[in-house]
Amino acid sequence: MLLDELKDTQVQVLSEIAAAATNKDINDIRVKVFGKSGVLTTLSRGMRDVAPEERPKVGAIINEVKVAIEEALSAKQAEVENAELLSKLESEKVDITEPAQGVEKGALHPIPRVIDKLCDICVGLGFSVVEGPEVESDYYNFEAMNTPKNHPSRDMQDSFFVNEEIVLRTQTSAVQGREMEVRKPPFKIVCPGKTYRNDSDATHSPVFHQLEGLVIEEGDKVSLADLKSMLTILMKRLYGEDTEIRFRPSFFPFTEPSIEVDVSCPTCHGKGCSLCKGTGMLELLGAGIVNPKVLELSGIDSKKYRGFAFGFGLDRTAMILNSIGNIKYFYKNDKRFLEQMK
Ligand code: PHE
């Protein structure tokens, strides 16, 4: 009886294995046969009732059934796994003859592009590039720049104050004081970055960009002529060798004397167009010889050292280089505009 049951179990289980189609089927069968209350486990317990002289024979047969089932299970498992692999390969097949979709390439925004270009030119002229905070103290933005509280020139810049002492920097000139305090002259630095003023029209945005340049040298090595020649080189490298440059006297509290610099309009080459409002020239930057008071405020001996500084509007530069009539385009994130700027 036990032997008959064993034989029947073998036939039954082998046919179930033959019908199995997934790994789960195979596992279910394994549990059903070999599990704690599996068929074969239960049958094996029947050995207790077998006469001692029969036991070796019955034991051998239980073993045969067990081996036959195990072999059938592992053969089936290999078959199922192979089939699964094949169907996975089939479903993941790549049609290498299908035309490619193409990758949309991004590009740098025009403002960081101008920053990169100017920094490259300035590094070529021996400058180091530094950065400063956008949320700045009133001290560095104004006072260290010889613009004490209630100084009328504060009106030149419509500032966003966070509180009495903290302001969104209105000019990258704010880094001048910071750098003069920690650097030992002589040094040459440029600082590009965001600046903020309460001003908004076709050519002004409340957030805009400037690049500040500062050169501090021993007194006899710096003059207005050096500043003019440095700015001429910069402008020509930026806008092209045939660019004309015009210097005009101006006023900034932190430079004395102060100048403003215009360049011939690269769109119409001085003839007059809508970009230069018919004047043929474009106002580009402020500059000057660093006011000795500014040096002293930052702990630099103004009898020994002298410096010059310049500050560019970078949005304006990017507008001119790309012939763009309205600064707002830079801040709208309109993909069609950015695509044209690539
Ligand atoms: N900070 C000035 C401005 O924003 C520009 C400037 C920089 C002028 C350095 C002189 C020297 O208008």
| Ligand 1 atom nearest to 310, measured from its CA | 9
The four Cα atoms 141, 144, 146, 151 give a dihedral, to 10 degrees, of: 50
Query: Which residue from 156, 252, 315, 316 has its CB within 8 A of the most atoms of ligand 1, so it is best to mutate?
Result: 252
CA distance 340 to 342: 6
Identify the pLDDT of residue 323: 86
**What is the predicted pLDDT for the residue at 44?**
85
Whether ligand 1 lies within 6 angstroms of the CB of 287 is answered as yes
Nearest-angstrom CA–CA distance, 6 and 61? 8
Q: If we measure between CA atoms, which residue out of 144, 145, 141, 189 comes closest to residue 161? A: 141
For ligand 1, is residue 311 a contact (CB within 6 Å)? yes
Confidence at residue 250, expressed as pLDDT on a 0 to 100 scale: 97
> Are the CB atoms for 24 and 30 separated by under 8 Å?
no
Q: Is 213 in the pocket of ligand 1 (CB under 6 A)?
A: no
**Which CATH number, 3.30.70.100, 3.40.50.10490, 3.30.930.10, 3.30.9.10, labels domain 110-340?**
3.30.930.10
Query: For the chain, which residues make up each domain, given as ranges?
Result: 2-91, 110-340
pLDDT in tens, 37-93: 888 888 888 888 888 888 888 888 888 889 989 998 999 999 899 988 999 999 999
Atom 10 of ligand 1, residue of closest alpha carbon = 287
Q: How far is the CA of 54 from the centre of ligand 1 (A)?
A: 109
- Give CB contacts under 8 A, 24+ apart, made by 235-241: 235/261, 235/263, 235/284, 237/121, 238/117, 238/118, 238/121, 238/317, 238/321, 239/263, 239/266, 239/320, 239/321, 240/266
* Residue numbers in the chain where pLDDT is lower than 70: none
Distance 311 CA to ligand 1 centre (A): 4
Q: Which atom of ligand 1 is nearest to the CA of 176?
A: 9
User: How many angstroms separate the alpha carbon of residue 203 from the centre of ligand 1?
Assistant: 17
pTM reported for the whole predicted model: 0.71
- Do residues 26 and 20 make contact, with C-beta atoms less than 8 angstroms apart? yes
Distance 325 CA to ligand 1 centre (A): 23
pLDDT digits over 260-302, tens only? 999 999 888 889 988 888 999 999 999 999 999 999 999 999 9
> Ligand 1 within 6 A of 329 CB?
no
Residue 310 CB less than 6 A away from ligand 1: yes
Cα separation, 246 vs 244, whole angstroms = 7
CA-nearest residue for atom 12, ligand 1, is: 286
Quick check: 213 and 309 in contact, CB under 8 A? yes
Distance between CA atoms of residues 191 and 92, nearest Å: 52
